[in-house]
Amino acid sequence: MVRNIVILGGNSHPKLVESVCNSLGLPSCNRILTKFSSGESRCEIQDSVRGKDVYIIQTGFGGNGSKLNDHFMDLCIMISACKTGSARRVTAVLPLFPYSRQPDLPYKKAGAPLIQPPSENGRKDYTFDSVPATPAPGGPKSSGFPNPADITNKLIRTSLGNGSGPASPKANGKANGDAYLGGNGVNGTQEHQDRRGQTGNFTTHDYENLSIVNAFEARPGYKQWVAQAGTLVANLLTCAGADHVITMDLHDPQVQGFFDVPVDNLYGRPLLKQYIMQNIPNYKEAVIISPDAGGAKRATAIADSMGMDFALIHKERRPTRITDRQNASMMLVGNVADRVCILLDDIADTGNTITRAAKLLKKEGATKIYALLTHGVFSGDAISRIKASALDRVVVTNSVPQGEHKALLGSKLEVLDIAPIFAEAIRRVHHGESISVLFNFD
C-alpha cells in the first residue's frame, strides 16, 4: 500500500480507475461529479487532499452519456478543486490525450495552394517565386512593367489613383508639385490615367475592380486556416493547476512541447510486443506493417527489436491511375505474399486507414492479418467497417472503454489491460524513481 497518494477518477473510464486502484492497493477518492440541470458540471471532493499527491485519471474519450469536451472540462474542474484543497501536487493522468490529432492537417494532391487563371495574353509562367523583391530606392528593377523601370517611381506616380493621398512634392527631386504635373507645367491627370492603364492595377486593395482581387482562386480541397487546439488544451490544464501530465502513445510527440510542466509519454509497445510473442505462431516469419508513413518509426522499433521483417503502406496522394499495386490511393512497399501481417498503429478512430490497408494486404497475398492498436476509439461507422474488413483480429488496449466495442465485435476484438503500467508509473513518480524502465520494450 502506498501512502499519501489520492487516486481521483473521472466519469470517462471508471473501470480503469478501479483497476489502477487495485494495483496500487488504494481505494479511490470519494467525490461527487455530476451535472446541474442547466448542464454545468458540479464537482465536490469529499476526502481530504491537503498535502497529498493527487492523481486524476480521465481519458480523452466521449462515453458514458457525456461528450469528450464535458469530460475534459470535468478534469479541469477537478484539478482546480484539488489545488484549492491544498493538494501538494496534482497530476493529470490521460491514457488518451484529447485533441492530440489536431496538428494533422490533411495533405491534398494539389501543389501550391493558389493558382492564377490564364491571362488574356496567354502568359502562364507566373509563380509565387517570381514575385519581385521588396521595392526600395536604388533596389532591383521590376520586370512586371512593359518597360523595366524603378518601381519606386511608379508607386509615386500612381499614389493619387490608389487613394493614398498626395505625396511630398520633392519625392522625385522636383519642386512646386511638378511630380504630379506634366512636363509643361499643366495638370498631368490624364497622363497619369493613361500610364495607369498601361501598367495595370497592381494594388489588390483597390476594390473598384474586383476582377483583379478575385484573380486568384483556391484549389479544391485547400484549407485556408485550421485551428490548432493542442496549445490551448495544454494551457487549460496548466492554468487549472496541473503540475504533471502522464499519458500514453501521443499521436504527435511534439505535443509535449506545448506544456510548461513535465509530461511523461508512456508506451503501449511492451504490451503489443508481448501479445505478438505469446499469441502469434511463428511470429518471426510474420511481417510488421505500418499503415502510413507517420507510424513507420513506431513499427520499425518493434520490428527491429524482435528481428522481424518490415513493410510500409504508402498513401499515394498524386492523381495516378489505379494499378494492381495500388488500392485507391494506397501502395504497398514490401513483400507480404503467403505471410502473416501485423498492422501497427497508435490510434484507430474511424477505422478507414487500417481497413483499407487490410484490403490491400489481402490482395497482395497475406494469409492472416492482425491489427494491433494502442487506442481503439472506433467512432462513427468504424465497427461495421471492421466487421466487413479483411482483418482477422483486432487487438487494442483499454485506454478507452471497450465494453460496447467488445460486445459488437465479439471474438474479433481482444483488449489488453494498461492499468498495471499506469499504476507502476504513478508509484514511481510518487517516490521520485525513474520511469525509464517503462519505456524499455527490448
Please tell me which residue, 311 or 320, carries the higher pLDDT value: 311
Q: By the 8 A CB rule, do 426 and 24 touch?
A: yes
Indicate whether 199 pLDDT > 70: no
In which order are the strands placed within the sheet that holds 393-397?
326-327, 330-333, 309-315, 287-290, 340-348, 368-376, 393-397, 413-416
- DSSP annotation of 439 reads T
pLDDT at residue number 173: 45
Cell of 297: 518509426
What would the pLDDT profile of 374-420 be if each residue is shown by its tens digit? 999 998 889 999 999 999 999 999 999 999 999 999 999 999 999 99
Q: Tell me the pTM.
A: 0.71
Indicate whether 159 pLDDT > 60: no
Element (H, E) at 68: helix 68-84
Least confident of 180-194, 340-354, 361-375: 180-194
**Phi, psi (degrees; rounded to nearest 5) at 135:** -70, 140
Mean pLDDT score of the chain = 78
Which residues, in sequence order, are bridge partners of residue 265?
247
For residue 61, name the pLDDT band (cuts at 50, 70, 90). Answer: confident
Q: To 10 degrees, what angle do helices 230-240 and 68-84 make?
A: 30
Q: By the 8 A CB rule, do 350 and 382 touch?
A: yes
DSSP alpha helix (H) spans, 256-351? 269-279, 296-306
At residue 155, the 3 state secondary structure works out as helix
Dihedral angle of Cα 72, 77, 82, 85, to the nearest 10 degrees: 180
Place of cell 509562367: 125
Q: By the 8 A CB rule, do 419 and 23 touch?
A: yes
pLDDT at residue number 441: 54
Least confident of 70-74, 206-210, 386-390, 402-406: 206-210
Dihedral angle of Cα 331, 333, 336, 342, to the nearest 10 degrees: -80
At residue 344, the 3 state secondary structure works out as strand
Mean of pLDDT values over 417-426: 95
For residue 157, name the pLDDT band (cuts at 50, 70, 90). Answer: low
At residue 41, the 3 state secondary structure works out as strand
Which residues, in sequence order, are bridge partners of residue 378?
none
pLDDT at residue number 152: 54
pLDDT at residue number 331: 86
